[in-house]
Amino acid sequence: MTDVLDVARIKADFPIFEREVNGKPLVYLDSAASAQKPRAVLDAMEYHHRHHYANVHRGIYTIAEESTAAYEGARAKMARLLNAGSTNEIVFTKNITEAMNLVAYSWARRNLGPGDVVVITAMEHHANVVPWHILVEERGIDLRWIPITEDFQLDLADLDRLLDGAKLLSVTAMSNVLGTLNDIRLLADAAHAAGALVNVDAAQAVPHLPVDVEAWDADFVGFTGHKMLGPTGIGGLWARAELLEAMPPFLGGGEMITDVRFDGFEPNEVPWKFEAGTMPFVEASGLAAAVDYLGALGMDAVRAHEKSLTDYALRALEERFEGRLHIHGPSDVERRGGAISFAFDRIHAHDVAQVLDEDGVCVRASHHCAKPLMRVLGVPATTRGSLYVYNDESDVDTLVESLAKAEKFFAI
């Protein structure tokens, strides 16, 4: 296979791959949980700390202005990555969970009441489930679920009925468990036709695919930095400017105001209205470096690399284990990304992951914060290997060999 990415060179950009685990090279297959960091990201944060560390938007002095410029520069880079109409449509948050909660607390509490319908899907991460459950309890909203088909796609047979009268469709662009890619444009068109807005969980999509919020015709899109080679502690929400303008503040505090009196306050302008307190501006510099890094690779190339590597992995797993290992996700790589969940019939996910760890192979064994989906799949947990720019066929080969060892070890 000729790879569109030079993985050996990319791997050399990530200091963590200099270490070993149990005397073996690190095979990191858990990027869907959190991605490793290239030196450029670490350097950018260190540079910010060492060179112009000062709180943003506050000081009238050189380094504070530089710090602010770096923070706002990160916003602009993120806006360009997502093809946002305006830089000010990017609100920084702690992570995508906070971004989803921003939609639920600010937009939904202003706009939804008893009986109002929010539609989500059976493949959502808890971050796009629990905020709505809270609104069911608190506001009496009605939560409807789009089911999934046997081939791990959204079952859109009843979509029109489910969207009838809905105020919001909140859906993931790519399942963190199944790898399934959802057709956001098609869903957005259906939702808008029904009069509903569209909120997209793009935690898994932004790191791995070209994302264009205009082409999606979405209304809200959440992302998180640490899954896209950036640091923890920063994520964000893109939303159409007029929605952000009309939304009330979420968290109250410093920076999100223009005036505070004894009898009230005036909120700041968008997006700072939603950025209360000292924000993770050093992490924003790291995120900006991650955006640059991904930009230099090209998101089309990232997607092409992962598509061919996912195809290689699916074939290798199928050839080696045939029917003994079940892959919970689509087989067509056009319709899926590189998060690959699987389960042996007789071996628990934790036991599999334990054996893999001995070979330096990092996979996730859990419900992946998607318990409703686990119920649909009928399993308590799956093992998930997920691919990214620094993985190649040798990583997949090691995974397969290590799985064979686990199968032998637990042979009944």
Q: Which is nearer to other proteins, 183 or 358 (CB)?
A: 358
Q: Is 365 in the site for other proteins (CB under 8 A)?
A: yes
Nearest to 105 by CA among 57, 152, 59, 138: 138
Considering the complex, what minimum distance in angstroms separates the CB of residue 409 from other proteins?
Answer: 7
| Range 4-63, binding other proteins (CB under 8 A) | 22
The yes-or-no answer on residue 369 being catalytic is yes
The number of C-alpha atoms within 13 Å of 200 and in the hemisphere containing its C-beta is: 32
Q: Is 177 in the site for other proteins (CB under 8 A)?
A: no
**Residue 376 DSSP SS3:** helix
**Pattern 371-390, other proteins, x by CB under 8 A:** ---x----xxx---------
Q: Is 366 in the site for other proteins (CB under 8 A)?
A: yes
Q: Is 351 in the site for other proteins (CB under 8 A)?
A: yes
Q: Using the rule CB under 8 A, give the single segment among 87-95, 217-225, 348-356, 388-396 that binds other proteins.
A: 348-356
Q: Which of 8, 354, 401, 404 binds other proteins (CB under 8 A)?
A: 354
Q: Which is nearer to other proteins, 309 or 406 (CB)?
A: 406
Q: What are phi and psi of 230, to 5 degrees?
A: -90, 180
Nearest to 268 by CA among 251, 249, 281: 249
- Cis bond before residue 147 (omega within 30° of 0): no
In the set 10, 369, 381, 396, the catalytic residue is: 369
CA distance 319 to 323: 9
Q: Which is nearer to other proteins, 125 or 367 (CB)?
A: 367
Q: Would strands 27-28 and 117-121 be described as parallel, antiparallel, or unpaired?
A: unpaired
Radius of gyration of the chain (CA): 22
Q: Which is nearer to other proteins, 296 or 412 (CB)?
A: 412
The number of C-alpha atoms within 13 Å of 393 and in the hemisphere containing its C-beta is: 10
Q: Which of 349, 363, 370, 400 binds other proteins (CB under 8 A)?
A: 349
Cα distances (angstroms) measured from residue 68 to each of 167, 325, 406:
37, 51, 51
| Range 194-233, binding other proteins (CB under 8 A) | none
Query: Of how many residues is the chain composed?
Result: 412
The answer for residues whose C-beta is within 8 angstroms of residue 217's C-beta and 6 or more apart is 185, 188, 189, 192, 198
Q: Which of 48, 77, 227, 367 binds other proteins (CB under 8 A)?
A: 367
Q: Using the rule CB under 8 A, give the single segment among 129-137, 216-224, 301-309, 354-362 that binds other proteins.
A: 354-362
Q: Which of 39, 401, 404, 409 binds other proteins (CB under 8 A)?
A: 409
Beta strands in 84-229 (DSSP E): 90-93, 117-121, 142-146, 166-172, 197-201, 220-224
Q: Which is nearer to other proteins, 168 or 353 (CB)?
A: 353
Q: Is 348 in the site for other proteins (CB under 8 A)?
A: yes
CA distance 367 to 375: 10
Alpha-helical regions (H) of 164-271: 184-193, 213-216, 241-246
Q: Is 129 in the site for other proteins (CB under 8 A)?
A: no
Q: Which is nearer to other proteins, 169 or 374 (CB)?
A: 374
Considering the complex, what minimum distance in angstroms separates the CB of residue 170 from other proteins?
Answer: 24
Count of residues near other proteins by CB under 8 A: 18
Residues classed as catalytic = 369
Q: Which residues bind other proteins (CB under 8 A)?
A: 22, 348-351, 354-355, 358, 365-367, 374, 379-381, 409-410, 412
